[in-house]
A and B are shown apart, each in its own frame.
Chain A
Amino acid sequence: MSSDIYKDIILDYYRNPRNYGDLPEPDVRAKDSNPLCGDIIEMQLKIRDGKVDDIRFKGKGCAISQASASMLTEAVKGQTLDELKAMGKPYVLELLGIDPGPTRIKCALLALKVLKLAVYGYLGQAVTEEVRQLV
């Protein structure tokens, strides 16, 4: 079956998530859920010299939400916190390689929101309205 949004790569990340689990001593952790469908994602980060040194995620939910979380953890390793703060919706969609459409976009963006919550939490800064509105 040719499924537009369930490409092999997304199903692969869903079935075999990379960077899944806990970090031994994370510098920061953040968690959020999508109340509409109950997707939950937690991220744990190790930060060194203002960069993501290591990262893990845990969660439950649909394939889109879990695959995007896993892909994001791979992509952001080594990136600076400023880069993460500047990261937007197009970055995630490009990673996923699909357009999930208006009803599923929140599933795709939950991981990004949690990542940003972690960054703002680590920096001790107030979360911006833009981040709150992501999901």
Chain B
Amino acid sequence: MVEKLTTINVARIREDFPILKRQVNDKPLVYFDNAATSQKPNVVIDAIDRYYREYNANIHRGIHKLAEEATLAYEEAREKVAKFVNAKGTEEIIFTRNATEAINLVAYAWGRANVGRGDKIVLTIMEHHSNIVPWQLLAQEKEAELEFITIDGNGELRQDEVQELIDEKTKIVCMTHASNVLGTINPVKEIGRVAHRYGAMFLIDAAQTVPHITVDLREIDCDFAAFSGHKMLGPTGIGVLYGKSEQLQNMPPFLGGGEMIREVHETGSSWKDPPYKFEAGTPDVAGAIGLGTAVDYLTGIGMRNVHDYEKEITSYALERMKQVDGVTIYGPRDVARRVGVISFNLGDIHPHDLASILDEEGIAIRSGHHCAEPLIEFLQVPATSRASFYIYNTMEEVDVFVNALEKARKLFAR
């Protein structure tokens, strides 16, 4: 049942997002592509702007005032992120370009030092390409094996395969916290326990959860977690790798260069401690500051409220979409087991045609394989359409969207 919303003022939140005033094809923009990237509130845009206008400087090195202010702001952002996901400390938060780079960092630095011939890397069929391809590259290089846990008819991971595939040969289990196609929230804590029982590392791709639900990484007890700033109201170009201190300490560096070294001599170099060991070169200072501000914004609303509201709008959308003739919805029926991502098909209308028709109505959805081709193949569909929500979406927008689905259905039924 749809619970009554009391804790979040969507109308006020919408005021914070300038892009939502835009018209697309002479219609008000309905932005339902939040699983791809979120829109940005004024505070984030302003924080980035202020950095460049008032205290732009390179960090960690300069002695002057601007360098001091910039370094402080960059490290404050790290603290905010650490707190937001309940890391033990800032040494566990590495800034990367995005979640993809975060996963690649682990595959290169940890993977090349720890995975060997005949070892197993266990993934799931619902992974984004970013959590498949780095492991394929590693497996090819090391002659390791990849295994995929598949899903049941409800779009949830098969527990029998979890038990069967993770074994003493397994070096790392890598899985998404929530599917960017099905919306399924995976029981990461339980699966992590299985991985750890066999001494395997456990990595989660939290790109679809950190922006939308309370994520307590210490409680989940993963060794690594990756997420992106741009999906959580922050700018593009900044992402996060969380790593447990003990893992990061023992890992060789990823990229070499300035910032990450303690000493450099002709004969060799020594590294700084984490997180700096993994942040070679001038980082995206503005991006980190923007992300820190986005974290403040989300914390201000409260992640509990964010999640509750998204459950409400997702329930409403599922309810309304089911009434459209010929709609097939993928993923868990139970809204408590999914994030605000709904993949669907409408009759035999190709998802690209549907996305075009909706675009004419000012509605932005995603269509295609959503960078998860193995899953789309597993579902045995050529592609899907996907609507995904965030705190600034409204029930009225869901109505506009459902009406457009009806129009598309009628158009193609002729």
Instruction: Answer yes or no: A3 CB below 8 A from chain B CBs.
Output: yes
Q: Which residues of A contact B414 (CB under 8 A)?
A: 8, 11
B352-369 vs A, CB cutoff 8 Å, 1 = contact: the mask equals: 110011001000000111
Task: Report Cα–Cα, A133/B353, bound state, in Å.
Answer: 23
CB-based contact A36/B407 at 8 Å: no
CB-based contact B411/A38 at 8 Å: no
Task: Report Cα–Cα, A36/B383, bound state, in Å.
Answer: 11
A-side binding surface: helix, strand, loop or mixed?
Answer: loop
Known: A1-B411, A11-B411. A6 touches B368 (CB 8 A): no
Task: Report Cα–Cα, A100/B114, bound state, in Å.
Answer: 50
The contact sample of 6 A-B pairs, CB cut-off 8 A, is: A5-B360, A11-B411, A60-B382, A61-B350, A62-B352, A104-B356
Q: Which residues of B contact A36 (CB under 8 A)?
A: 368
- The count of chain B contact residues (Cβ–Cβ below 8 Å) is 18
Closest to A100 in B: B356
A residues adjacent to B (C-beta < 8 A): 1, 3-6, 8, 11, 36-38, 60-64, 103-104, 107
CB-based contact A107/B407 at 8 Å: no
CB-based contact A37/B407 at 8 Å: no
Q: Which residues of A contact B412 (CB under 8 A)?
A: 6, 11, 63
Of A5, A63, A64, most buried by chain B (CB within 10 Å of CB) is: A63
Q: Which residues of A contact B410 (CB under 8 A)?
A: 1
B residues adjacent to A (C-beta < 8 A): 349-350, 352-353, 356-357, 360, 367-369, 382-383, 407-408, 410-412, 414
Q: Which residues of A contact B407 (CB under 8 A)?
A: 1
Of B350, B360, B369, most buried by chain A (CB within 10 Å of CB) is: B350
- Shortest distance in angstroms between A43's beta carbon and chain B's nearest beta carbon? 20
Closest to B373 in A: A38
CB-based contact A4/B360 at 8 Å: yes
Closest to A62 in B: B350
CB-based contact A63/B368 at 8 Å: no
CB-based contact B356/A5 at 8 Å: yes
CB-based contact B383/A3 at 8 Å: no
- Shortest distance in angstroms between A108's beta carbon and chain B's nearest beta carbon? 12
Closest to B368 in A: A37
Task: Report Cα–Cα, A99/B401, bound state, in Å.
Answer: 24
CB-based contact B352/A3 at 8 Å: no
Task: Report Cα–Cα, A94/B352, bound state, in Å.
Answer: 21
Of B349, B352, B369, B410, most buried by chain A (CB within 10 Å of CB) is: B352
Q: Which residues of B contact A11 (CB under 8 A)?
A: 411-412, 414
CB-based contact B357/A37 at 8 Å: no
CB-based contact B352/A37 at 8 Å: yes
- Shortest distance in angstroms between A59's beta carbon and chain B's nearest beta carbon? 12
Task: Report Cα–Cα, A4/B369, bound state, in Å.
Answer: 25
CB-based contact B350/A3 at 8 Å: no
- Shortest distance in angstroms between A53's beta carbon and chain B's nearest beta carbon? 32
Closest to B412 in A: A11
Task: Report Cα–Cα, A64/B349, bound state, in Å.
Answer: 11
Across chains A and B, which 5 residue pairs bring their CB atoms closest together, nearest first?
A62-B350, A1-B407, A62-B352, A62-B353, A63-B353
Closest to A1 in B: B407
Q: Which residues of A contact B349 (CB under 8 A)?
A: 63
Q: Which residues of A contact B353 (CB under 8 A)?
A: 6, 62-64
- Shortest distance in angstroms between A76's beta carbon and chain B's nearest beta carbon? 24
Known: A1-B407, A6-B411. A38 touches B360 (CB 8 A): no
Task: Report Cα–Cα, A74/B338, bound state, in Å.
Answer: 48
Task: Report Cα–Cα, A61/B383, bound state, in Å.
Answer: 10
Of B357, B368, B369, B410, most buried by chain A (CB within 10 Å of CB) is: B357
Closest to B376 in A: A38
Closest to A101 in B: B356
Closest to B361 in A: A1
Of A4, A5, A38, A64, most buried by chain B (CB within 10 Å of CB) is: A38
Q: Which residues of A contact B357 (CB under 8 A)?
A: 3, 6
Q: Which residues of B contact A5 (CB under 8 A)?
A: 356, 360
CB-based contact B382/A38 at 8 Å: yes
